[in-house]
Structure 1
């Protein structure tokens, strides 16, 4: 089995350190690991044809049309695609073809009450709950887990109903925000694209969140579930 780790984009999500956290797990599960610091690899059809799983951690950034076409073709042919937080749900904002493939786009992470904000990233760290759906309580990625709480960015995500949602998080109504009813966003979802499987986990802003046992379990199980060998069985 072969996994391609593609990383880069905004440094704030620590793409190198974050992906390195999962290298031992992938190696222990029999994956030959290749790392690319650029999305140009997506445009190399001969390389992509040999990949069973892509783990992407590229926040924002840009992608060339031939690269996103190569990524879409590989997933449709059976290559798994997995990632977390902005590395997959806030990548390549200008590419509608990428957004259609992944099935969700980061919109915002609401902040604390303005008077409690100090001007750093913790302004957007809110205590919130990740709740499993009925499907999530049975799905191999999340079965056996319980709802859990995190203090970190709480992603508000725009999505469509091709996604199978395994967990959600609810943005409450607060007097300093302009929305008027609670908003439920998917926190973990899967998506079938051709013969390929996609898994998105929205928590993962920092290394400590990736180290949370619940978050790490979801990501690790998701990578195995998405891989070509799993989807073909």
Structure 2
């Protein structure tokens, strides 16, 4: 049985523990044994290498020097790292090592909650197989991204608030290797209910299974 650690907390409006519980149930359906905790001390205390998948679900926050070192070593050795929205792209702003592992970081959400289109960039990839472009209402994340990521889906910005970003195409779902580990990220899922959107749910589930080498 594969093992997953979900670490939830941070920015309260994201309702992180509730979102983490949705992920727990989703992964348990796929046969995972899931440990879901609400403390950053997990990165210092847990045997991170014993997990097949770690889901950082903590917007902002501060991870200890020892904790980020242990997470880095676990992923480098083969543990999967996967997550979504601010819990991963806006986690641990003072840790360049974490951002390097993730492959990108949050900058802003121009326009706040708005309707936009998620465009499938790699329909040939198993994570995106059978999915079509879809309309989505949420925060549209503007991100700083590593050019080495493998982009699976994008979104296009309108210049309503910032005219100079009109037409900018931004990665919104990606995957990447990190040593022997795999990293997956989806910018979708501002609040827990958004994880019930069929395409968002499918992308997240498949991406996490890929990161854990379960698919």
TM-score w.r.t. the length of structure 1 is 0.88
Counterpart CA distance in 1 for 2:99 and 2:24 is 26
**Secondary structure at the residue paired with 1:189?**
strand
Task: Identify which of 124, 132, 151 aligns with 1:138.
Answer: 124
Partner of 1:79: 79
Q: Displacement of 1:39 after TM fit?
A: 2.3
- What stretches of structure 2 of length at least 5 have no aligned partner? none
CA contact (8 A) 1:106 1:158 kept: yes
Partner of 1:179: 164
Task: Identify which of 171, 177, 181 aligns with 1:196.
Answer: 181
Q: Displacement of 1:203 after TM fit?
A: 1.0
Task: Identify which of 137, 151, 154 aligns with 1:168.
Answer: 154
| CA distances 1:93-144 after superposition (whole Å, capped 9, x unpaired) | 1111111111101000001xxxxxxxxxxxx1111001011xx201111111
Partner of 1:42: 43
Q: Displacement of 1:24 after TM fit?
A: 2.1
Number of matched residues? Answer: 214
Task: Identify which of 216, 219, 229 aligns with 2:204.
Answer: 219
CA contact (8 A) 1:61 1:91 kept: yes
**Secondary structure at the residue paired with 2:156?**
strand
Counterpart CA distance in 2 for 1:28 and 1:98 is 29
- Aligned residues: CA RMSD: 1.4
Q: Displacement of 1:43 after TM fit?
A: 2.6
| CA distances 1:173-209 after superposition (whole Å, capped 9, x unpaired) | 23x4242542111110001000111110001001221
**Secondary structure at the residue paired with 2:50?**
coil
| CA distances 1:160-179 after superposition (whole Å, capped 9, x unpaired) | 112000000111223x4242
Counterpart CA distance in 2 for 1:196 and 1:215 is 23
Partner of 2:115: 127
Which runs of at least 4 in structure 1 moved beyond 6 Å after TM superposition?
A: none
**Secondary structure at the residue paired with 2:143?**
strand
Task: Identify which of 186, 194, 212 aligns with 1:209.
Answer: 194
Counterpart CA distance in 2 for 1:137 and 1:180 is 26
Partner of 2:144: 158
Q: Displacement of 1:215 after TM fit?
A: 0.4
Counterpart CA distance in 1 for 2:147 and 2:70 is 24
Rg comparison, structure with higher value: 1
TM-score w.r.t. the length of structure 2 is 0.95
Counterpart CA distance in 1 for 2:74 and 2:213 is 10
Partner of 2:9: 8
Larger CA deviation: 181-190 vs 70-79: 181-190
Structure 1 residues 207 and 229: CA distance shift in structure 2, 3 A: closer
Counterpart CA distance in 2 for 1:70 and 1:42 is 7
